[in-house]
Amino acid sequence: MAPAAAAAAAAAAEGDDAILRNRAPSATAAAAGLARDDSGVNLAAAAADEKPPRGDVPDGDEDEDVLPDPEEEEERKKMIASFHTSIVSAKTGWQSVTPFRQVIFLYKLFFSRQFFVHRVVGLVFLLQYAAAFYLYFADYATFKASVLVFTLPGTGVFQTVTAIYTFTFLPKKAKDGGYFGDKSIMSYPFIIENSFFALILYYAYLYFDDRGRSLLQSTVLVEQVFVFFPYILRTLWPKTSFRDSYENQRNRTSKRDMFFRAAIMITKSFYVWAKHYIGYFLNYARFLDRVNNEEVRFIQQVLIFSSFSTTISIFLQTLKVCFYSDRQRVEIFIRLAHR
Q: What pLDDT was estimated at residue 155? A: 96
Mean pLDDT of 43-49: 44
pLDDT reading at 56 higher than 70: no
pLDDT reading at 296 higher than 70: yes
With a pLDDT cut of 90, the percent of the chain lying above it is: 33
Q: Is the dihedral of CA 265, 260, 244, 162 positive or negative?
A: positive
Assign 60 a pLDDT band (cuts: 50, 70, 90). very low
Mean pLDDT of 268-289: 90
User: What pTM, to 2 d.p., does this model score?
Assistant: 0.64
Q: What pLDDT was estimated at residue 134? A: 97
Mean pLDDT of 264-274: 87
Chain mean pLDDT for the chain: 74
- Higher per-residue confidence, 279 vs 54: 279
Q: Which residues contact 252 (CB under 8 A, 6 or more apart)?
A: 180, 181, 182, 183, 184, 260
- Higher per-residue confidence, 106 vs 11: 106
**DSSP 8-state symbol, 67:** P
Count the Cβ atoms, other than its own, within 10 Å of residue 306.
22
From the CA atom positions of the chain, what is the Rg in Å?
A: 37
Q: What pLDDT was estimated at residue 176? A: 77
